[in-house]
């Protein structure tokens, strides 16, 4: 019996995506692969809403985050991380691992990044090379107002680059990379993009490419410059995950067929439906500014959230995410992005509501 995946990555795969992964494998230095690779990059530009060059990485999303750090920064550079949850903290950890000391602006978990708080921090810390945000912080279920945040960065520190982790947001929640002035937009294949885990992408502006040329942190496998040099040949510098490229190509074909605005709309409708259903159960949302990609739900006081999730997985084969770090056991997170359907969400909601009664055996 199959599992129902309601997790914020990996998400379920469309049947046609499974199918292409069963086809004969291509060699990566062939014209046939080149066509597929170019298609993926072109369609990623469509989903990103950008004219910038997009590079593809054979890593999970965190590899894309690390690639932004090593390709844009030098020892001693100043960077600001606007944290709204566990994934903002990850940017801070990566920078510290490379010997940097980022300025951290912290929001209470569940709140979105406050543009006024950002403005104050930008005024107090001149000379920043870059500022990072999450598009959607999957740990808390918030969506950040990237349009407003990016505008504040460009206004107060025009030389600073805007770097966005849209690993869970892209392909589910509205993102306008170029119109919003986002210099680097990072994503991964296994969430809104409806492909298996293992590929990541970065859309990089000309300003960011300039910074990339002179950045002095050590880098080799994640060096965007070698990736960009291979683009005219429709190749990657090293062996790409060719099977995943085929899968991603098919998933992107489906997104184009539906239209990205329709994908956003469908995701927003399923999110509204989920939030209403949760309220009907008498539960409250964790996020003050809830995203459309997933719904984070506060569990009743005294309820063992870790056990709840284990029970639902064992008894119903439904995979629901719990809380991360200090939220472990206190919230559950029901994803509704990508190929997750209303029937899947209904199964998850039913599993949750039937276990809210203390008498449940």
Ligand X SMILES: *Cc1c(COP(=O)(O)O)cnc(C)c1O
Nearest to 68 by CA among 181, 175, 4, 161: 161
Distances (CA, A) of 332 to 25, 112, 175: 39, 19, 26
Rounded to a whole number of angstroms, the minimum distance from the CB of residue 159 to ligand X is 26
* Exposure b/e, 201-210, CB count within 10 A at least 16 = b: bbbbbebbbe
* Exposure b/e, 273-306, CB count within 10 A at least 16 = b: bbbebbeeeebebbbebbbbbbbbbbbeeeeebe
Rounded to a whole number of angstroms, the minimum distance from the CB of residue 166 to ligand X is 8
Q: Which is nearer to ligand X, 33 or 224 (CB)?
A: 224
Nearest to 205 by CA among 42, 45, 35: 45
Q: Which residue has the tokens 């014209």?
A: 31
Q: Which is nearer to ligand X, 93 or 123 (CB)?
A: 93
Q: Which is nearer to ligand X, 62 or 157 (CB)?
A: 62
Q: Which two tokens stand for residue 166?
A: 């849209």
Rounded to a whole number of angstroms, the minimum distance from the CB of residue 70 to ligand X is 15
Secondary structure of residue 290 in the 3-state scheme: strand
What residues numbered 105-164 form the site for ligand X, per CB under 6 A?
A: 134, 137-138
Residue 187 in contact with ligand X, rule: CB under 6 A: no
**Helix or strand (DSSP H, E) at 41:** helix 31-48
Output the residue with the shortest Cβ distance to ligand X. 61
**Helix or strand (DSSP H, E) at 204:** strand 200-204
Mark residues 320-359: x for contact with ligand X by CB under 6 A, - for none.
----------------------------------------
* Exposure b/e, 104-123, CB count within 10 A at least 16 = b: bbbbebbbbbbbeebeebbe
The values of phi and psi at residue 216, to 5°, are: -120, 5
Rounded to a whole number of angstroms, the minimum distance from the CB of residue 213 to ligand X is 26
Q: Which is nearer to ligand X, 26 or 162 (CB)?
A: 162
Rounded to a whole number of angstroms, the minimum distance from the CB of residue 336 to ligand X is 14
Q: Which of 150, 168, 236, 248 binds ligand X (CB under 6 A)?
A: 168
The values of phi and psi at residue 70, to 5°, are: -75, -25
Mark residues 70-99: x for contact with ligand X by CB under 6 A, - for none.
-----------------x------------
Q: Which is nearer to ligand X, 190 or 298 (CB)?
A: 190
Q: Measure the CA–CA gap between 183 and 202, rounded to whole angstroms.
A: 10
Mark residues 209-248: x for contact with ligand X by CB under 6 A, - for none.
----------------------------------------
Q: Measure the CA–CA gap between 83 and 91, rounded to whole angstroms.
A: 9
Q: Which is nearer to ligand X, 50 or 136 (CB)?
A: 136
Rounded to a whole number of angstroms, the minimum distance from the CB of residue 118 to ligand X is 18
Mark residues 33-62: x for contact with ligand X by CB under 6 A, - for none.
---------------------------xxx
Residue 188 in contact with ligand X, rule: CB under 6 A: yes
What residues numbered 9-28 form the site for ligand X, per CB under 6 A?
A: 9
Q: Which is nearer to ligand X, 36 or 140 (CB)?
A: 140
Q: Which residue has the tokens 């284990």?
A: 310
Rounded to a whole number of angstroms, the minimum distance from the CB of residue 193 to ligand X is 11
Q: Which of 167, 182, 296, 340 binds ligand X (CB under 6 A)?
A: 167
**Helix or strand (DSSP H, E) at 251:** helix 242-258
Q: Which of 89, 107, 165, 173 binds ligand X (CB under 6 A)?
A: 165
* Interface with ligand X: number of residues (CB under 6 A): 13
Residues 6+ apart with CB under 8 A from 307: none
Query: What's the chain's length in residues?
Result: 361
Rounded to a whole number of angstroms, the minimum distance from the CB of residue 158 to ligand X is 27
Contact footprint for ligand X (CB under 6 A): 8-9, 60-62, 87, 134, 137-138, 165, 167-168, 188
């Amino acid at each position: 019996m199959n599992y129902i995946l309601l997790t914020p990555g990996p998400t379920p795969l469309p049947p046609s995506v499974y199918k292409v992964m069963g086809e004969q494998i291509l060699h990566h230095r062939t014209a046939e692969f080149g066509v597929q690779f170019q298609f993926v990059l072109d369609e990623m530009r469509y989903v990103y809403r950008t004219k910038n060059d997009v590079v593809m990485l054979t890593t999970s999303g965190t590899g894309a985050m690390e690639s932004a750090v090593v390709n844009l920064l030098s020892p001693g550079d100043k960077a600001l991380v606007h944290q709204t949850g566990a994934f903002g903290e990850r940017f801070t950890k990566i920078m510290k691992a490379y010997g940097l000391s980022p300025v951290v602006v912290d929001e209470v978990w569940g709140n979105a990044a406050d543009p006024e708080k950002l403005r104050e921090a930008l005024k107090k810390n001149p000379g920043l090379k870059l500022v990072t945000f999450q598009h959607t912080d999957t740990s808390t279920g918030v969506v950040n107002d990237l349009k407003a945040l990016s505008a504040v960065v460009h206004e107060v520190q025009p030389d600073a680059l805007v770097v966005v982790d849209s690993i869970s947001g892209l392909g589910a929640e509205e993102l306008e990379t170029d119109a919003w002035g986002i210099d680097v937009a990072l994503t991964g294949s296994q969430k809104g993009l409806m492909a298996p885990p293992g590929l990541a992408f970065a859309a990089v502006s000309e300003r960011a490419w300039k910074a990339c040329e002179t950045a002095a942190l050590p880098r080799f496998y994640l060096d965007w410059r070698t990736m960009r040099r291979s683009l005219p040949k429709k190749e990657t510098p090293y062996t790409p995950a060719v099977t995943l490229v085929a899968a991603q190509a098919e998933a992107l074909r489906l997104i184009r067929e539906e239209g990205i605005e329709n994908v956003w709309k469908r995701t927003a409708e399923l999110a509204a439906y989920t939030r209403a259903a949760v309220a009907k159960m008498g539960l409250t949302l964790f996020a003050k500014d809830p995203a459309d990609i997933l719904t984070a739900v506060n569990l009743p006081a005294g309820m063992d959230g870790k056990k709840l999730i284990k029970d639902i997985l064992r008894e119903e084969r439904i995979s629901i995410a719990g809380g991360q770090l200090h939220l472990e056991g206190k919230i559950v997170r029901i994803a509704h992005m990508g190929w997750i359907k209303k029937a899947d969400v209904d199964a998850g909601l039913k599993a949750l509501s039937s276990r809210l009664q203390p008498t449940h055996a």
